[in-house]
Amino acid sequence: MSLKGMSIISIRDMEKEHLEEVIRVAGEVKRGKHKNFLKGKVISTLFFEPSTRTRLSFESAAKQMGAEVIGFAGSDYTSVKKGESLGDTIKTVSGYCDLIVMRHHLEGSARYASEVASVPVINAGDGANQHPTQTFLDLFTIREYFQDFSSLKVAFLGDLKYGRTVHSLAYALSLYKTTIWLISPDLLRMPQFLVEELRANGSSVREIDNLEQIQETFDILYVTRIQRERFGDPQEYMKVAGSYRITRGVIESLGKNIKIMHPLPRVDEIDFDVDTMDNAIYFKQAHNGIPVRQAILGLVLGTI
Ligand code: CP
């Protein structure tokens, strides 16, 4: 099942075979099997919203494989500032490159961009909606520890309402019928239509208020930040800020095999002294962004 020429907008557009193909090829890339396969290509990174990992790992990934990179981080010095529409920006940039990577605050913006672009578009995060390449690197990282996703037990903790990384990853895991716990304050519950979608795909899904309510061992705790920038009302944010915190003690109580993941950036939801525990794999996750995004670029451009 080929990704060649496809825009990568939502994990919902993917079949399990696509997920397995990216994981397989990313493994080959990480082992050094493919070299310089983006030579002669130009990649645009259009980041209308802040990013550290996604933009820089895409740019590093592309350059390491021989591509040229153009683009912007923040649209203040582009013609968007003069009133240019997103559609006109995308149509114009399509003529300057082979592929567009875009992050934008509006849900649905990446889908729209893919409809007007004449080159493939990769969604690097559209509002609270989807972040599919984060999911590919999350799955790749999980596979480095667990072969069988269907027997996995994964707890998601935090902002499940606005957390696009959770929306994408939970959906992908539901294709494997992974057992899922959703742990959040009431205000930050995952939208019900997404929960129903996970169940319809065959996952057992339980929504709970705190970690202590899980009475059995599980494999992965995927923690997310409460995203202040997504709240319309600062008072609503203050009601939930600091409502959970992962410490060494919490992790020890979960058993020595538990893996702690986080898409990053972190604010205060995981103590810094957790970083040295073998359970903490979130920086490894971030570093896997390079081979995984290289694989995605190569597969979409048909050069790998
Ligand atoms: N995980 C992630 O998307 O990080 P950035 O916002 O730094 O790109």
pLDDT digits (tens, 9 = 90+) for 218-242: 999 999 998 777 777 888 878 777 7
Determine if ligand 1 sits within 6 Å of the CB of residue 265.
yes
Residue type (1 letter), 144: E
pLDDT of res. 152:
98
Residue with tokens 């493939």: 120
Determine if ligand 1 sits within 6 Å of the CB of residue 52.
yes
How many CB atoms lie under 10 A from the CB of residue 242?
10
pLDDT of res. 69:
98
Please state the rounded mean pLDDT for residues 213-221: 95
pLDDT of res. 241:
79
Q: Identify the residue with better confidence: 227 or 101.
A: 101
- Average pLDDT along the chain: 96
Residue with tokens 């239509």: 193
**CATH 3.40.50.1370 for the 11-130+289-301 domain, yes or no:** yes
Give domain 132-286's CATH architecture: 3-Layer(aba) Sandwich (3.40)
Q: Relative to the CA of 264, which ligand 1 atom is closest?
A: 1
Determine if ligand 1 sits within 6 Å of the CB of residue 263.
yes
pLDDT of res. 1:
76
Please state the rounded mean pLDDT for residues 290-296: 98
Q: How far is residue 208 CA from its own chain's centroid?
A: 23
> Considering the entire predicted model, what is its pTM?
0.96
How many CB atoms lie under 10 A from the CB of residue 192?
9
As a whole number of angstroms, the distance between CA 107 and CA 127 comes to 5
> What residue's CA is closest to ligand 1, atom 6?
51
pLDDT of res. 228:
79
pLDDT of res. 227:
77
**Statement: residue 298 has pLDDT above 90:** yes
89 exposure class (CB count in 10 Å sphere: 0-12, 13-18, 19+): buried
Mutational test site, ligand 1, from 45, 49, 51, 134, max ligand atoms within 8 Å of CB: 51
**Statement: residue 132 has pLDDT above 90:** yes
As a whole number of angstroms, the distance between CA 90 and CA 118 comes to 9
Residue 71 Cα, ligand 1 centroid: separation in angstroms? Answer: 17
Please state the rounded mean pLDDT for residues 258-275: 96
DSSP-derived 3-state class of residue 244 = coil
Please state the rounded mean pLDDT for residues 191-200: 97
- Which residues of the chain form CATH 3.40.50.1370? 11-130+289-301, 132-286
